[in-house]
Amino acid sequence: MAHYVPIPKDLNEIKEKFIAGFTKRQVICFGIGLVIGAPVFFLTRNAIGMSGAIFAMGACAAPAILCGLYKKNGVFLEKQIRFMKEYFTRPRKRYYRTTNVFVSFERHIEYMKIRKKLRDAERKG
């Protein structure tokens, strides 16, 4: 009996596995989550109890872990957040403004005429 191996249609979807089926990015993000969450757990364990400390640890480590796991349309979580921040901080109304070149030329010609009149007045006066 022949064995068939499914081949993905998009080869960009293939990620090289680093440790235990995780990519380098996921391992680094889990490490950052561990570095953030472990001290929170040990510092809050006596003050708020075991279940509260576990909840606090999860709440502190979750953003780092989500950055390693979440990916939508090829964009990771931190870029999604950056795009959302840029979208919501932009002004809502954008006005289309043009500069009329002909009006600029007319103003320049008028300015030159006035300048010439002033120069002539200074010479006479």
Residue 57 belongs to some domain of the structure = yes
Structure tokens at 86: 């840029």
Q: Which domain holds residue 119?
A: 11-78+94-124
Q: What is the pLDDT of residues 27-56, one digit of tens each?
A: 999 999 999 999 999 999 999 999 999 999
Residue 88 belongs to some domain of the structure = no
- The DSSP string of 70-121 is -EETTEEHHHHHHHHHHHHHS-S--------HHHHHHHHHHHHHHHHHHHHH
Question: With pLDDT > 70 as the criterion, what percentage of the chain qualifies?
Answer: 92
Residue 65 belongs to some domain of the structure = yes
Question: With pLDDT > 90 as the criterion, what percentage of the chain qualifies?
Answer: 57
pLDDT surpasses 90 at 16: no
The total number of structural domains that make up the chain: 1
Residue 1 belongs to some domain of the structure = no
Residue 44 belongs to some domain of the structure = yes
- Work out the average pLDDT over 101-111: 94
Residue 100 belongs to some domain of the structure = yes
What is the rounded CA–CA span in Å between residue 92 and residue 115?
A: 43
Please report where in the chains the tokens 């901080």 appear, as a residue.
89
CA torsion through residues 40, 42, 46, 52, sign: positive
Residue 69 belongs to some domain of the structure = yes
